[in-house]
Amino acid sequence: MTLNELIADLEGRFPEEAKRGDLPSRSALGRYGQNLNRRLAAIRASTEAAKIISANAEDSADARSEALTAMIQTELFESIMVLQEASDDTMEPGDRVSLLAKAAKDIATLTRSSVTLKRYQAEAEDRGRAKLLAEQAEALKAMGGQGGVTEETKARIRDALGIA
């Protein structure tokens, strides 16, 4: 809807409020629409980023969750900055404390999630390395008595790769 269509729709839905002048002003609707458009654009950008990450990242190390966590951390940081910049006239101290407490709880949850994710990524990396070393050890065994590869050469390869 255009702004004029939205105003006409509100006047049609709420005729009593329109007569009393209790409907939002044109400029208030415009500001709300701009804020809504910015939020929708941010959601679209985040969705596109998630799709790109999903399409391009092999997720054995859970790269998508890491990207999502980073996006949430950015949003929380920006929200806290806005809250800190809010003047005392616009917010009661109790409301401010309540919002900060909720943000702190959300940050603690996000931090736990991040720590768990890092642990999972390290374990996935260790499993991948162990698998690679096992494959290399098998390849060395398979070389067996093939010409030109002595036991001394295989021992050096094992030492260099850290294969027991």
Please report the pLDDT score of residue 127 as a whole number: 92
User: Is residue 105 over pLDDT 60?
Assistant: yes
Please report the pLDDT score of residue 122 as a whole number: 86
- Rounded to whole angstroms, how far apart are CA atoms 123 and 18? 62
Whole-number average pLDDT of the chain: 79
Mean pLDDT along residues 85-97 = 69
Mean pLDDT along residues 21-36 = 85
This prediction's pTM: 0.41
- Rounded to whole angstroms, how far apart are CA atoms 4 and 30? 10
Query: 12: pLDDT confidence band, cut at 50, 70 and 90?
Result: very high
Please report the pLDDT score of residue 146 as a whole number: 63
- Rounded to whole angstroms, how far apart are CA atoms 44 and 50? 10
Angle at Cα 70 formed by Cα 66 and Cα 72, nearest 5°?
A: 115
Mean pLDDT along residues 30-37 = 82
CA distances (Å), origin 131, targets 53, 75, 126, 161 = 25, 38, 9, 13
- Rounded to whole angstroms, how far apart are CA atoms 139 and 39? 54
